[in-house]
Amino acid sequence: MSAVVQNPGVRALTREELEAHWMPFTANRNFKAKPRMLSHAKGMHYWTPEGRQILDGVAGLWCVNAGHGRKEISEGVARSLEQMDFAPPFQMGHPQAFELANKIVKIAPKGMDHVFFVNSGSEAVETALKIALQYQRLRGEGSRTRLIGRERGYHGVNFGGMTVGGMVANRKIWSPTLVPGVDHLPHTHDLAKNAFSRGQPEHGENLANELERLVGLHDASNIAAVIVEPIAGSTGVLVPPKGYLKKLRELCTKHGILLIFDEVITGFGRVGSAFGAQEFDVTPDIITMAKGLTNGSVPMGAVLVKKEIFDTFMTGPEGAIEMFHGYTYSCHPTACAAGLAALDIYEREGLFQRAKDLAPYFEQAVHSLKGLPGVIDIRNYGLVAAIEYEPFAGKPGARGFDTFTRAFAAGILVRAAGDITALSPPLIIEKSHIDELVDKLGQVIRETKVP
């Protein structure tokens, strides 16, 4: 799987050649002064243009669940591109879109059986929120327009997702133009009570009751939906406390509020089941997904809804468009081919079960970092984990970034989320890779120079 790939001889770019590309979520000047380039990938590894091998500890960006360079995907994509480069998705169809929707429904929680295709996690979130609002209106509850997110949630970068999200850096510049009528539940991260939890933390179920407070404030008749990630990923792997998601489900049901799980990270085996919904035994009304849907190979996202929601939309005149929403590239044939091939691999190789089987070994390995200088918490679930550090005085985030850059120099790709290192390796990872990842990260942590 991870046989060494020949370096294709990518030449180094000059500083001038690096200029035109405005890089996303990147310290552009810092990067361009000292670039971290990747040139090719196979199995569990990336290679740099100089030929340095990098062990992928984050599945690219929480998405390459079946590992890199999967021939089944590239061949499927090539075939599809040659057969039909594009098909208009509005008022027209192509078989692969229907096939992929059926395949997703097969692994979805029971009763969730209709899929709307988009091109990213951010678009999945916008689409889910719009579906929630229209659904409430269609069932005669048009006053339900408020949306509830959660502090430290990440739901992408478009206006709806940014607003229901709870990351201050992503919101503050655009604060005056955030979507009106949005509240936030408190986050569930409680270092004082739950530090070094293995799996779901003991404390915090009661935080779901904050929804009652918001219902008391606004009245349920004004609230359309609650959106949460089953495990908050981008803000540093916040695992839901025991009982929390079930309580949230109960309260949403009691008050006629839709529950949306944003499973852009937790979908496709990351937590040991197809979706967090099954793993935590809580069925939401809507699920958003992206990333692992195509193994990260071609941009694609999707929104999965319960039958009742879909049926509510299918009630107007038969010739009328039921929802005025969609993208030019919704269910693009290339993305569908990638999705079909990725889902085939997950199934054939039993990768969701593999994540579950490896989780105890992964847990043991990451928790072996407890006691290293500056480590104030380690948490994990399935094949996702986080190591949290004491921040450098007066420089929040600097320690996490320093750890990330030195880890890359040491030959491992990890993810910095503030002063937290997140790990979410491809599900094909071997125990020896886990050992290497944790050994190297441990060494990097030991060598930290506190300013």
Binding site for ligand PLP (CB under 6 A): 120-122, 125, 154-156, 229, 233-234, 262, 264-265, 290
Minimum distance of ligand PLP from residue 123's CB (angstroms): 7
> Taking the complex as a whole, how short is the minimal distance between the CB of residue 281 and ligand PLP, in angstroms?
20
- Picking from 400, 413, 367, 112, the residue whose alpha carbon sits closest to that of residue 263 is 112
Amino acid at 155: H
**CB-based closest residue to ligand PLP:** 121
Q: Which CB atom, from 293 or from 441, has the smaller least distance to ligand PLP?
A: 293
Provide the CA 141 distance to its chain's centre, in angstroms: 31
Strand residue runs (E) in 69-222: 112-118, 146-150, 182-185
Q: In angstroms, what CA-CA distances link 233 with 105, 167, 356?
A: 24, 12, 18
Give the residue with the Cβ less far from ligand PLP, 149 or 233: 233
Shorter beta-carbon distance to ligand PLP: residue 7 or 278: 278
* Beta pairing class for 415-416 and 420-423: antiparallel
List strand residue ranges (DSSP E) for 51-111, in order.
53-56
Please identify, using beta-carbon distances, which residue of 77 and 128 lies nearer to ligand PLP: 128
For the CB of residue 410, give the shortest distance to ligand PLP in the complex, in Å.
25
CA–CA separation, 414 and 425 (whole Å): 9
Looking at beta carbons only, is 258 or 369 nearer to ligand PLP?
A: 258
Helices 351-367 and 431-446: crossing angle, nearest 10°? Answer: 30
Nearest to 437 by CA among 451, 450, 339, 415: 415
We find the least distance from the C-beta atom of residue 226 to ligand PLP, in angstroms, to be: 14
In the complex, minimum distance from the CB of residue 28 to ligand PLP, in angstroms, rounded to a whole number: 18
Min dist. Cβ of residue 126 to ligand PLP (A): 10
Q: Considering beta carbons, is residue 369 or 384 the nearer one to ligand PLP? A: 384
Tokens 């081919």, residue located:
337
CA 100, 105, 106, 107 dihedral sign is: positive
Judging by DSSP bridges, how do beta strands 384-389 and 375-381 pair with one another? antiparallel
Q: How far is CA 160 from the centre of its chain?
A: 17
- Nearest approach in angstroms of CB 415 to ligand PLP is 10
Query: Residue 319 Cβ, how far from ligand PLP at the closest point, in Å?
Result: 34
First-to-last C-alpha distance (Å) of the chain: 41
State the nearest-atom distance from the C-beta of 227 to ligand PLP, in Å.
9
Closest approach of ligand PLP to the CB of residue 150, in Å: 11
Nearer residue to ligand PLP within complex by CB, 134 or 235? 235
- Residue nearer to ligand PLP on the CB measure, 123 or 367: 123
Nearest alpha-carbon partner for 69 in 342, 265, 272: 342
Helices 210-218 + 244-255 axis angle, to 10 = 20
For residue 381, the minimal CB distance to ligand PLP (Å) is 15
CB–CB of 408/31 below 8 Å? no
- Name the residue nearer to ligand PLP (CB basis): 156 or 236: 156
Q: β-strand 146-150 against 223-228: which pairing, if any?
A: parallel
Burial degree of 181 (CB within 10 A; 0-12, 13-18, 19+): middle
Distance CA 384, CA 233 (A): 9
Residue 284 or 392 with smaller CB distance to ligand PLP: 284
Cα separation, 108 vs 118, whole angstroms:
17
Distant-in-sequence, close-in-space partners of 217: CB < 8 Å, separation ≥ 6: 183
**Nearer to ligand PLP (CB atom), residue 96 or residue 120:** 120
- The answer to whether 300 and 103 have CB atoms below 8 angstroms apart is no
